[in-house]
Structure 1
Amino acid sequence: MDISTVRKSFGATEVLKGVSLSVPPGGVTVIVGPSGSGKSTLLRTINHLEKVDGGYITIDGRLVGYQVRGTKLHELREKDILQQRTDIGMVFQNFNLFPHLTALENVAEAPLVALRPGDPRRRTTAEVRARALELLDRVSLKDRADAYPRQLSGGQQQRVAIARALALDPKILLFDEPTSALDPELVNEVLDVIRELATSGTTLIIVTHEMGFARDVADTVVFMDQGQIVESGTPQDIFTNPREERTRSFFSKVIEPAFNI
């Protein structure tokens, strides 16, 4: 996936200021930085939940959200944008589960309604439900398949959300602060699931404030501030020997002394 000079403003506030980033297939890219630096907005442009004001994003060489006509980019029709999103799974901060559906039904919903006839991922209802059970088992929740979101803890709801995002076999999986809405004692159960995914070959892009987790799972760490990428590199590069003073300043305030640079 390639992000090329992406800009995004909300009113007079420029949130993304020409961001460029290449994400290799199968890699784990973790984006860190202070609140308001544009991390979540960048994530939302990847699946066109936010339209870009300039630049473009491609996945496997295909533009996200747009097509070229002549010399200009034109936004795709909504149904085509929705179809593109089946290749880009996303796990939100606040779970976003359907409250009237069970855990199993939440995971099975997208494959049943979002995949067009002819899509090689399309399956029968029985096959989709069987796959949904497999995914719930993968996140250690097969025994709660018939539970409704209100009957699950926050950590369990987020694990269902991860299973749901995997149900379409996406090319890329996005995580937007996946533990920020959880009580501290529930954080690790979600991070453990993501750690397992990080070894599975799925392309992951993760926005997080969990610095120890970022260091453990990332192939590439991206540090953002004020709508720009300040620097990127391996966890060793960024956490142990950052080049930029702004990066050093940030980590000196957010990393515990035993983990300090």
Structure 2
Amino acid sequence: MLHCIAGTCKLTKGEIKYNGKNFISEKNNISLMMQYPYLFNCSAKENIIMGLKFRQMSLNDIELRFENYAKYFDIGEIINKNGKRLSGGEAAKVAMLRTVIQETEVVILDEPTASMDIESTIKAETLIKDIMDDKKTIIVVTHDLYQAERVADEVIFMDKGRILEMGEKNSIFKNPTNPKLRLLLNKIAIK
């Protein structure tokens, strides 16, 4: 589904709507971070800024944007480290920065903090909230219910490819109607 939204995979049926209109991904309006990101055989910094270079931004603008986003994570120790040699958590930080630095209208993050430690997860969530404050649309896929509750405005709970429940975060977390979701959120006792 994420690949369909991002335009890297074609729909076999149905349609994607964004702001009430048929959504067709354009390379400059959407960015995608997959759970297991591919990092290139170059430094962490080069991995982060590669998309900006591809868009032929000026080196000065690239550096300013890099500094703006790099401050979210303590990446000084890995900035020159080869992307292929990063740990899972380091790779996740680099991939997340590479995605958000594009400053696209829609940002898709698939399990962005799954490999991160607690401190980095908190920083990643701060980054997500800051991007949301800039009125960008962020789609975060997570199995971490607490994370969904912390960062989301709207929530869609899915199971086996089907939507169980969707709506405003507080309504879903405080008063779910789906029995599976009620059980998962400890709204009913296990028998």
TM-score bucket of the superposed structures, by smaller chain: 0.7 to 0.9
Q: How many residue pairs were aligned? A: 182
Q: State, as a whole percentage, how many aligned pairs show the same letter.
A: 27
Structure 1 pair 233–58 and aligned structure 2 pair: CA distance change class (3 A): closer
Inter-CA distance 169–155: structure 2 relative to 1 (3 Å threshold)? same
SS of 1:135's equivalent in the other structure is helix
Distance between the aligned counterparts of 1:187 and 1:46, measured in 2? 29
Going from structure 1 to structure 2, the CA distance change for 1:59 and 1:134 (only over 3 Å counts) comes to same
Q: Which structure shows the higher strand fraction? A: 1
Distance 1:193 1:173 in 2: 17
TM-score (norm 1): 0.62
- Decide which structure has the larger Cα Rg and report it: 1
**Match for residue 13 of structure 2?**
54
Q: Which runs of 4+ in 1 moved over 6 A?
A: none
Q: Which has the higher contact order (CA 8 A, sep 6+)?
A: 1
Equivalent position to 2:111, from 177, 185, 188: 177
Q: Distance between the aligned counterparts of 1:171 and 1:142, measured in 2?
A: 28
**1:195 pairs with 2:130:** no
Over the aligned positions, Cα root-mean-square deviation in angstroms equals 2.2
144, 152, 175: which one pairs with 1:210? 144
* C-alpha contact (below 8 Å) 1:89/1:166 kept by paired residues: yes
Q: CA deviation at 1:190?
A: 4.0
1:150-208: per-residue Cα shift (whole Å, max 9, x none)?
A: 4433212111111101222111111112244x2xxx34244223311232223211111
The aligned amino acid for 1:94 is Y
Aligned to 1:69: none
- Unaligned stretches of 5+ residues in structure 1: 1-41, 66-83, 116-121, 253-259
- The equivalent residue for 2:180 is 246
Query: Does the 8 A contact of 1:232 with 1:238 survive in 2?
Result: yes
- 1:86 alignment partner, one of 2, 25, 28: 28
**Is this contact kept in 1: 2:72–2:127, CA < 8 A?**
no
Per-residue deviation at 1:236? 2.8
TM-score, normalization by structure 2: 0.82
Contact 2:73 2:93 in 1 (8 A): yes
Unaligned runs of 5+ in 2: none
Residue 103 of structure 1 is aligned with which of 41, 44, 58? Answer: 44
Match of 1:167 among 101, 104, 108: 101
In structure 1, what is the equivalent of residue 155 of structure 2? 221
The CA deviation at 1:139 is: 2.4
